[in-house]
C-alpha cells in the first residue's frame, strides 16, 4: 500500500486519507490507520475542510517539534 511505502521511506511524513461516502465503514478506517495514516477525512469536503485538516496537521507537528526541544 502506498501509505506503508511512504512511511518506510520518510517516517515523519504525515498522511491524510480522504474517503468517499461509500467507504465510511469502520473496518476500512481501522485498516487505513493500521497502514500508517495520521488523519482521515470523509467526503463530501469543502476546500475549507481540507485547509483545516492540513493546518491541524501542521500545528500538531510544530507542537511535537517544540516539545522535543524541551526535553
Q: Where are the domains of the chain?
A: 2-70
pTM: 0.67
CA neighbor of 45 nearest in space, from 33, 32, 54: 54
Q: pLDDT (tens digit, 9 = 90+) per residue, 11-67?
A: 888 888 888 766 567 888 888 899 999 888 888 888 898 888 888 888 887 787 777
Please state, in angstroms and rounded to a whole number, the distance separating the CA atoms of residues 54 and 17. 11
Which pLDDT value is given to residue 63?
81
**In whole angstroms, what is the distance from residue 53 CA to residue 66 CA?**
20
Query: Which position has the grid cell 498522511?
Result: 15
> What CATH code is assigned to 2-70?
3.40.50.2300
The confidence score (pLDDT) of residue 34 equals: 92
H or E segment to which residue 16 belongs: strand 16-19
Model pLDDT, residue 57? 84
- pLDDT for residue 26: 80
Amino acid at each position: 500500500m502506498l501509505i506503508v511505502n511512504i512511511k518506510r521511506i520518510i517516517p515523519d511524513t504525515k498522511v491524510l486519507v480522504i474517503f468517499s461516502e461509500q467507504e465510511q465503514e469502520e473496518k476500512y478506517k481501522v485498516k487505513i490507520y493500521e497502514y500508517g495514516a495520521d488523519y482521515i477525512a470523509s467526503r463530501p469536503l469543502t476546500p475549507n475542510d481540507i485547509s483545516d485538516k492540513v493546518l491541524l496537521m501542521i500545528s500538531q507537528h510544530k507542537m511535537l517539534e517544540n516539545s522535543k526541544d524541551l526535553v
